[in-house]
Amino acid sequence: MFKSNFSKLALAAGAVGLLLFFLTCGERKGGVQVSGGGDLAAIAEARGLTPADLVAAAKTYMPTGRHDEYYLFGSGGHSGQVLVIGVPSMRLLKVIGVFTPEPWQGWGYSNETREVLKAGSPAGKELNWGDTHHPALSETNGDYDGQFLFINDKANARVAVIDLRDFETKQIIKNPLSMSDHGGTFVTPNTDWVIEGGQYAMPWSGEYAPLDQYKEKYRGMVTFWKFDRAKGRILPEQSFALELPPYWQDLSDAGKLVSDGWIFMNSFNTEMATGGIEEGNPPFEAGASQRDMDYLHVINLNKAAELFRAGKTTKINGFNVLPLSVSAAEGVLTFIPEPKSPHGVDVAPDGNYLVISGKLDPHATVYNFTKIKAAIGSGNFSGKDEFGVPILNFDDVVDAQIELGLGPLHTQFDPNGYAYTSLFLESAIARWTMGGDWTQKHGKEPWTLVDKVSVHYNVGHICTAEGDNVNPDGKYLVSLNKWAVDRFGNVGPLLPQNFQLIDVSDPRGAMQLLYDMPIGVGEPHYAQMIKADKINSWEVYPEVGWNPGTQSKDPNGIMPGQEKVERNGKKVEIWMSAMRSHYNPERVQVNKGDHVIWHITNGERAKDATHGFGLPYYNVNLSLEPGETQTIEFVADQAGVYPFYCTEFCSALHLEMTGYLLVKP
Amino acid sequence: MKEMDLIVGPRIPEEMLKNERKRFLLPTLFLGAAGILLLISIFLPYWRMTLHAPQYPGGLQIQLYVNQVTGDVDEIDGLNHYIGMRSMKDAAPLERSLSIIMIAGIVLLAVGAIYIHSPVAAFFSFPAFLFPAIFLGDLYFWMRNFGLNLDPKAPLSSSVKPFVPPIVGTGMVGQFKTVATWDIGLYLALLASLLIVIGLYYHRKAYKPLLEARLKGK
């Protein structure tokens, strides 16, 4: 009786394990046998685990069959994909194919998925990689709603829409104005707009202009993509961009609550340096770091949208653009000096405070939106920049500057009035108190650094649970570290990135580092963490014959028994079914030179009964999830016999799930 | 006319009905309740089978009604094709299409027995009394028919030999443990049979004296 109760307790609570460790430490004979686990103290001693390690293990270990409390949606960096990770276990749940073909999901091999990838490619080129940076979960009233995920590709200035009903990319859209982007994606509180800010200024329309015409011809931009939630698509014709000075725009964020309708965006290289190290000019790294201040861009989005609707935009590359002169004159765009070369601009959950950190300045600078709005309203400007954009006085709108440490970058929040800022150079996370109304929550000195925890190493973005919406959970913080150096076993000169999980649930205690997760697919930038119960994805597609591209029934989807092959001249169209453990038909006969259109439907209704379809030489692999229909199309340009097979181990007779494509000479 | 009288039996004298209401009410109540239970059972499952296997943590289940099968029919059919068993859709087509009319008829007969004041009432209610046995017998017939007639060319025909799936209790097919249980509909039908027996007992008590009196009187 005692023993079975005890084993339950010991298994359930790591804290109990810790207690046992203390009680039995150094006293091997007194070690407690945990059923199925052995002697806890002896294991800890043999593995060199400290009591803190045991607590960390108990806080993160997920017994088989248990599900995580949060989903972390992380960018996959230059893998071009999105990573889905469970928190606190830090188990990789899925890699969503976005900008890069991904064979497991058949992403980029069927007509449906190739169309999505192609839509993001400039005319005449097929891009097959991306540099995903900032995922943004869709929001309702400023809170994550678990319906959609957006992410940008910095390398080619693209934005993707992922539907979280099936965790599949539905749309990729190429920005018609810029080659690169960085200040995206972020969404407005009801996901009416998806923000994509540019990065490196360039001549628009893809024109050529020499660098000595930089000020005249080069421009920055921010694009506001209109999102239609019912369609699950961005509507380019209802979207528009702002023409911006050729500073390099950086991160952005959308206002919320009091600042709803406003957009904030950092910039650097307001020096407008054009490089040229090879000609004896200062390199960009120096040239773009000369001034003490750069400009925070404050954008009145509602006003901009009003002007867009009133027809004040012009067309550039067929896209609606609000000219810089209009923005400056109509009060759409206002600048505020910000400490040089800033990186993150993060809007606090109350919408009133903006936290900006510059990698070259040891402070977090806190701006007060109420003061910004008042200053703009009263027209209290210190002057204009050379493009005519009014500039506010720094001192009029800044509430605090908190010295946090070296290289502060990005800030996230918790519900108790604490902010967390990554310190790149110091490889640490700083926890500090917010002021204003937040002071009542934490009851401490406002705007004060209270704690730091080391991370390994070179942290970029951080992510607390729901930490950038109006209702942050705090609780866990994931530190997205650029370097791992010595954290993992050697795998050659290319090292994985390191996601570190930190417990920030106790505002009175210290932050505790819990777990290291290597990321071996790319360099992730930002991540967002959402409560798992907000994600209501499908277990199988709603009906047999489902087209995930349209999220509706595919006219070419069939039920088992409706299989057929039709020949029309040189066009052969096949409607095939896939069921455990066979395709129907199994023999597909065409002639060399035939144009083959091949629809395959998985007729299964069981969860996880996915079939693949791998076809040699013709470079096809499909993932046919239960109910899904996909179409491939190719010209049978080489005679021969091509055995196709199910690439998912679907059943005991998986090897027999095969067939022959016979291409007659 | 005379034969008809024999079948229908004597009518109850007005006076007697007044004085001994309970005596004549009891058979009516029991037989009527049996009919109602049987009608209700149409809408309830008679039998269910649950399949347990490691890769189906929630199990698979089918519910059998007198006129339909519900649950994971497609999935189980899909699995059954490996052992060469025919689709459940091919089972008992006649029974399924006629069951509702059949039960309605049976119920009408059983309820009709209330108005038959002779031993013929037993014959009228007999089909309803027998219905659970008919159902189980038919179920066994089809289980046997399906289980023993496996396609010898099926993928797993060498490892799964023809067998008769149990109509109640557990069995094993490959990695699947099957659990067959009787369900609420069948229990209602069984209860109806019991009510018929009780009803007939009271029926006999109520009408036998009348019948004997008439025979004596003749």
Interface test with A, best of B56, B61, B72, B75 (most A CBs within 10 A): B75
Contact criterion met (CB < 8 Å) for B74 and A579: no
Contact criterion met (CB < 8 Å) for A653 and B75: no
Q: Which of helix, strand or coil describes residue A180?
A: coil
Q: Which domain holds residue A629?
A: 546-664
Residue A18 located in a structural domain: yes
| Shortest CA gap A563–chain B (Å) | 17
Q: Count CB neighbours of A532 within 10 A.
A: 14
Mean pLDDT score, A657-663 = 98
Residue A574 located in a structural domain: yes
Q: How far is CA A635 from the centre of its chain?
A: 37
Q: What is the pLDDT of residue A10?
A: 40
Residue A541 located in a structural domain: no
Q: Check CB contact of B75 with chain A, cutoff 8 Å.
A: yes
In chain B the first and final C-alpha atoms are separated, in Å, by 16
**What are A307-330's pLDDT values in tens digits?**
999 999 999 999 999 999 999 999
In chain A the first and final C-alpha atoms are separated, in Å, by 77
Nearest to A525 by CA among A481, A476, A488: A481
Residue where the block lists tokens 């210190």? A382
Chain A CB contacts of B84 under 8 Å are none
Using DSSP bridges, classify how beta strands A595-602 and A587-591 pair: parallel, antiparallel or unpaired. Answer: unpaired
**What are A52-80's pLDDT values in tens digits?**
999 999 999 999 999 999 999 999 999 99
User: Are residues A371 and A455 both part of a single domain?
Assistant: yes
Contact criterion met (CB < 8 Å) for B82 and A579: no
Task: Return the exposure string of A125-155: e unless at least 16 CB atoms fall within 10 Å of the residue's CB, then b.
Answer: eebebbbbbbbbbbbeebbbbbbbbbbbbbb
What is chain B's percent helix, strand, coil content, to nearest 5?
60, 15, 25
Q: Which of helix, strand or coil describes residue A550?
A: coil
Nearest to A578 by CA among A558, A600, A599, A557: A600
Contact criterion met (CB < 8 Å) for A580 and B155: no
Rounded to 5 degrees, what angle do the CA atoms A39, A45, A51 make? Answer: 95
Mean pLDDT score, A419-442 = 97
Q: Please, what is the angle between helix A40-47 and helix A51-60, to 10°?
A: 110
Q: Check CB contact of B155 with chain A, cutoff 8 Å.
A: yes
**Which of A36-45, A271-280, A601-610 has the weakest average pLDDT?**
A36-45
Token pair listed for A415: 């519900």
Residue A484 binned pLDDT confidence (cut-offs 50, 70, 90): very high
Contact criterion met (CB < 8 Å) for B155 and A653: yes
Mean pLDDT score, A188-211 = 94
Q: Check CB contact of A579 with chain B, cutoff 8 Å.
A: yes
Return residues 30-59 of B near A (CB < 8 Å).
56
- Based on the structure, what is the number of domains in chain A? 3
User: Are residues A39 and A82 both part of a single domain?
Assistant: no
In angstroms, the CA A148 to CA A126 distance is 26
Mean pLDDT score, A382-390 = 96
In the sheet with A527-531, reading across from the earlier edge strand, the strands are A91-96, A82-87, A70-75, A527-531, A459-465, A474-481, A497-503, A512-519
The DSSP code for B214 is H
Chain A CB contacts of B79 under 8 Å are 580
In angstroms, the CA A596 to CA B209 distance is 87
Chain B CB contacts of A656 under 8 Å are 155
Residue A500 binned pLDDT confidence (cut-offs 50, 70, 90): very high
User: Are residues A19 and A121 both part of a single domain?
Assistant: no
Q: Which domain holds residue B107?
A: 3-216
Q: CA-CA distances (angstroms) from residue B155 to A198, A616, A651, B85?
A: 59, 26, 12, 11
User: Are residues A372 and A476 both part of a single domain?
Assistant: yes
Token pair listed for A319: 């896209």
Mean pLDDT of chain A: 93
| Shortest CA gap A579–chain B (Å) | 8
**Of A579, A652, A656, which has the smallest distance from its Cβ to B78's Cβ?**
A579
Token pair listed for A658: 């095969």
Residue A41 binned pLDDT confidence (cut-offs 50, 70, 90): very high
Contact criterion met (CB < 8 Å) for B155 and A606: no
Token pair listed for A37: 């686990």
In angstroms, the CA A615 to CA A625 distance is 17
**What are A465-479's pLDDT values in tens digits?**
999 999 999 999 999
Chain A CB contacts of B82 under 8 Å are 580-581, 652-653
Q: Which long-range contacts (CB under 8 A, 24 or more apart) does A42-48 make?
A: none
**Of A580, A652, A656, which has the smallest distance from its Cβ to B78's Cβ?**
A580
- Residue scoring higher pLDDT (A6 or B61): B61
The CA R_g of chain B, rounded to the nearest whole Å, is 23
The DSSP code for A117 is H
Contact criterion met (CB < 8 Å) for A605 and B75: yes
Chain A CB contacts of B78 under 8 Å are 579-580, 604, 606
Residue where the block lists tokens 């995920």? A149
Half-sphere exposure of A164 (CA within 13 A, CB side): 25
Contact criterion met (CB < 8 Å) for B78 and A653: no
Q: Which long-range contacts (CB under 8 A, 24 or more apart) does A325-330 make?
A: A325/A388, A327/A242, A327/A243, A327/A389, A328/A384, A328/A387, A328/A388, A328/A389, A328/A390, A329/A388, A330/A303
Contact criterion met (CB < 8 Å) for B82 and A653: yes
Residue B218 binned pLDDT confidence (cut-offs 50, 70, 90): low
Interface test with B, best of A66, A581, A611, A649 (most B CBs within 10 A): A581
Interface test with B, best of A64, A582, A605, A650 (most B CBs within 10 A): A605
A-B contacts at Cβ under 8 angstroms: 16
| Shortest CA gap A409–chain B (Å) | 46
Cis amide linkage into residue A457, ω under 30° from 0: yes
Q: Which of A15, A41, A60 is the last residue of a domain?
A: A60
**What are B109-130's pLDDT values in tens digits?**
999 999 999 999 999 999 999 9
User: Are residues A155 and A102 both part of a single domain?
Assistant: yes
Q: Check CB contact of A114 with chain B, cutoff 8 Å.
A: no
Residue A207 binned pLDDT confidence (cut-offs 50, 70, 90): confident
Residue A26 has pLDDT above 90, yes or no: no
Q: Check CB contact of A303 with chain B, cutoff 8 Å.
A: no
**What are A264-286's pLDDT values in tens digits?**
999 999 999 999 999 999 999 99
| Shortest CA gap A92–chain B (Å) | 21
Q: Check CB contact of A604 with chain B, cutoff 8 Å.
A: yes
**What are B2-32's pLDDT values in tens digits?**
777 778 888 888 888 888 889 999 999 999 9
List, in sequence order, every beta strand (DSSP E) within A175-288.
181-187, 193-198, 202-203, 218-228, 233-244, 248-254, 262-268
User: Are residues A47 and A89 both part of a single domain?
Assistant: no
Mean pLDDT score, A13-32 = 44
Q: How far is CA A15 from the centre of its chain?
A: 34
CA torsion angle B77 B82 B83 B86 (round to 10): 40
Contact A434, A446 (CB under 8 A): yes
User: Are residues A599 and A492 both part of a single domain?
Assistant: no
In angstroms, the CA A213 to CA B155 distance is 74
Chain A CB contacts of B56 under 8 Å are 606
Q: What is the pLDDT of residue B147?
A: 94
Rounded to 5 degrees, what angle do the CA atoms A651, A653, A658 make? Answer: 105
Q: What is the pLDDT of residue A522?
A: 92
Contact criterion met (CB < 8 Å) for B78 and A581: no
Residue where the block lists tokens 């004597």? B10
Domain CATH code at residue A295: 2.130.10.10
User: Are residues A462 and A608 both part of a single domain?
Assistant: no
Return residues 110-139 of B near A (CB < 8 Å).
none
Chain B CB contacts of A653 under 8 Å are 82, 155
User: Are residues A436 and A342 both part of a single domain?
Assistant: yes
Token pair listed for A312: 């004040």
**What are A135-149's pLDDT values in tens digits?**
999 999 999 999 999
Q: What is the pLDDT of residue B11?
A: 86
Chain A CB contacts of B155 under 8 Å are 581, 653, 656
| Shortest CA gap B75–chain A (Å) | 7
In angstroms, the CA A300 to CA A260 distance is 9
Q: Check CB contact of A656 with chain B, cutoff 8 Å.
A: yes
Nearest to A374 by CA among A258, A466, A265: A258
Residue B217 has pLDDT above 80, yes or no: no
- Based on the structure, what is the number of domains in chain B? 1
Mean pLDDT score, A359-367 = 92
Q: Check CB contact of A605 with chain B, cutoff 8 Å.
A: yes
Token pair listed for A8: 């339950």
Q: What is the pLDDT of residue B215?
A: 81
Q: Which of A11, A34, A60 is the last residue of a domain?
A: A60
In angstroms, the CA B146 to CA B163 distance is 9
Q: Check CB contact of A309 with chain B, cutoff 8 Å.
A: no
Residue B85 has pLDDT above 80, yes or no: yes
Q: Which of helix, strand or coil describes residue A339?
A: strand
Return residues 169-198 of B near A (CB < 8 Å).
none
Q: What is the pLDDT of residue A22?
A: 44
User: Are residues A215 and A320 both part of a single domain?
Assistant: yes
In angstroms, the CA A504 to CA A510 distance is 8
Token pair listed for A515: 């777990």
Residue A425 located in a structural domain: yes
Q: What is the pLDDT of residue B129?
A: 96
Residue A85 located in a structural domain: yes
Residue A256 has pLDDT above 90, yes or no: yes
User: Are residues A215 and A335 both part of a single domain?
Assistant: yes
Predicted complex ipTM: 0.76
Contact criterion met (CB < 8 Å) for B78 and A656: no
Q: Count CB neighbours of A435 within 10 A.
A: 18
Interface test with A, best of B56, B70, B74 (most A CBs within 10 A): B74
Nearest to A479 by CA among A443, A447, A526: A526
Percentage of residues in chain A having pLDDT higher than 90: 89
Chain B CB contacts of A652 under 8 Å are 82
Chain B CB contacts of A605 under 8 Å are 74-75
**Of A606, A653, A656, which has the smallest distance from its Cβ to B75's Cβ?**
A606
Percentage of residues in chain A having pLDDT higher than 70: 94
Q: What is the pLDDT of residue A7?
A: 43
Contact A432, A449 (CB under 8 A): yes
In angstroms, the CA A307 to CA B96 distance is 68
Query: Exposed, middle or buried, B101 (CB in 10 Å: 0-12/13-18/19+)?
Result: exposed
Token pair listed for A579: 């069921």
Contact criterion met (CB < 8 Å) for A604 and B78: yes
User: Are residues A230 and A333 both part of a single domain?
Assistant: yes
Domain CATH code at residue A579: 2.60.40.420
Mean pLDDT score, A33-51 = 85
| Shortest CA gap A603–chain B (Å) | 10
Residue A8 binned pLDDT confidence (cut-offs 50, 70, 90): very low
Residue A34 binned pLDDT confidence (cut-offs 50, 70, 90): low
In angstroms, the CA B64 to CA B81 distance is 20
Residue A447 has pLDDT above 60, yes or no: yes
Nearest to A78 by CA among A176, A155, A159: A155
Residue B214 binned pLDDT confidence (cut-offs 50, 70, 90): confident
Residue B63 has pLDDT above 90, yes or no: yes
Q: Check CB contact of B163 with chain A, cutoff 8 Å.
A: no
**What are A338-362's pLDDT values in tens digits?**
998 899 999 999 999 999 998 888 9
Q: Check CB contact of A581 with chain B, cutoff 8 Å.
A: yes
Q: What is the pLDDT of residue A15?
A: 42
Token pair listed for A616: 């040699």
